[in-house]
Amino acid sequence: DTAVSQTPKYLVTQMGNDKSIKCEQNLGHDTMYWYKQDSKKFLKIMFSYNNKELIINETVPNRFSPKSPDKAHLNLHINSLELGDSAVYFCASSPGRSSYEQYFGPGTRLTVT
């Protein structure tokens, strides 16, 4: 019954590779997000997306791209991975429609070597 799920849980890859992280929510929420949490535990919003608009935070390199095949999924694709991309990536969702509370997935720990 996991509300927000992510795969894989761990991802170890080499610099220069391209990888994807998948996210699915079964809450019927309208809005989904991707966050990056660095080693100091700072949570930074990368994207928010509902079926009408994609908001990309300006600090996110264009090597990162969200892809949403449908309302319940928001996958994260990363091109040309760099060492600095190593972090935990969290997917989250919220009902939208004036409700801001967010529900997070378990996270994907990405290690770039």
Binding positions for other proteins, rule: CB under 8 A:
31, 33, 40-45, 48, 50, 53, 55-58, 90, 92, 94, 96, 100-107
In the complex with other proteins, the residue whose CB is nearer, 14 or 52, is: 52
Beta bridge partners of 45: 35
C-beta of 47: minimal distance to other proteins in Å? 8
C-beta of 96: minimal distance to other proteins in Å? 6
- CB of 55 within 8 A of CB of 79? no
In the complex with other proteins, the residue whose CB is nearer, 64 or 90, is: 90
Residues 28-56 as b/e (b if ≥16 CB within 10 A, e otherwise) read ebbbbbbbbeeeeeeeebbbbbbeeeeeb
In the complex with other proteins, the residue whose CB is nearer, 4 or 78, is: 4
Q: Any idea what DSSP says for residue 96?
A: B
C-beta of 109: minimal distance to other proteins in Å? 10
